[in-house]
Structure 1
Amino acid sequence: MPAPCDNLVIAGRRWAEKALQLPLRSSKSGAEQPAAAVLSLSAEAAAAPRLPQQQLLNRYRQHTQHCVVCQKALQELKQKLAAAKTASSLLLAALVDVLASVVAPGVLQLAAAQAAASGAAAAAAAGSVGLVAGVVRPGLMGAAAWLAKKAAAAAEQEIAQFEYVEFSHADNH
């Protein structure tokens, strides 16, 4: 059984087929002809200005703004994008803080210990252990910030799919 909107399409097509068979008087010849012969859109279509590709393939205006499901999915993607950008920014800020408060003093301490006593291997070893511990945490924070940035980029690409997608029938093999 066809859906209610399918019934409307079928009824509209039947009406159009009957209407195109009705006689109309042609403005050029003055003779009556079937409407299909008079209402040829080929000359009008050729004279009409061509729509820009961006306007022609604008998914948002043609579909997304009217589709409740797509609107909901787009809103969820925008929320994920905002969360990923926030996480990335916070992780980068924390990374800079850790680098400034832990790694830089550790490097300075290690350099000072090596300069003060080149024979004091224990002091150098203690400084290098602190430096390694100070590098692991920033490394993990940097990796997490990078992953959040990648998630934000992926969300931006998905959002773009709801707005515009380049398409060419010639390239569609």
Structure 2
Amino acid sequence: MKLYLSNLDLSKITIDKIKEYCIISDNMKEIYTDEGVYVSKNGQGYKKYSFIDNDIKFIKNYLENHDLIIDESFVYKSKETVSRIPVNHNVIHVTKNEYKMSPKSPVTLAVERCDDKITSVYFMLTNFHGKYSLPDIDNQFTKETIHSFYALIF
């Protein structure tokens, strides 16, 4: 599940103030073909990704005149490393950084860049116990953490 704030101007985002919160930095190579999408993280071999579309929900005025867009879609990645990539393909190099305010926080900010330009910013709720629900998204701690990241990057 990914959480997006609506109407963000990605060109105005600065990540300098959140560098200390970075927990993961992945260099990914995404290959798009007629047969599917293949992704390699940090040169560890390619996995085939399958995308499962699911519901999109909205919470109006979630944060400073931004709606929250909740994408419940998910991705399955193959367990086996793929040894053959189709000849006809397009390659995109993506750097994905993940940030947390504290190690136990369920809220993670993800920033994706291509050619040093920010292309996507979203939040994820992660937990060892599984899926989160709308009440979890709307609780005070979650909102405060998202607001704190928002204030730091704008």
> TM above 0.5, one fold?
no
**Greater fraction of residues in helix:** 1
Q: TM-score, normalised by structure 1?
A: 0.18
Q: Which of these two proteins has the greater Rg computed from alpha carbons?
A: 1
Q: TM-score, normalised by structure 2?
A: 0.20
**Greater fraction of residues in strand:** 2
